[in-house]
């Protein structure tokens, strides 16, 4: 999972660091999903 999502080691300390890391990973994945969705919609709109 880490290699596929290009995630790095969690360098933040403690439970709060783990929570922050999870939020940042989610934000990164949402960015990837939104880019792919934007590409899909632009391809779909060019076909119609």
Q: Domain range spanning residue 36?
A: 2-47
Residues of the chain with pLDDT under 70: 1-10, 12
Nearest to 5 by CA among 18, 37, 22, 42: 22
pLDDT at 2: 53
Domains: count for the chain: 1
Q: From CA 43, how far away is CA 24, in angstroms rounded? A: 29
């Amino acid at each position: 999972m880490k290699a596929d999502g290009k995630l790095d080691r969690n360098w933040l300390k403690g439970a709060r660091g783990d929570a922050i890391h999870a939020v940042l990973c989610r934000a990164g994945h949402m960015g990837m999903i939104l880019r792919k969705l934007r590409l899909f919609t632009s391809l779909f709109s060019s076909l119609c």
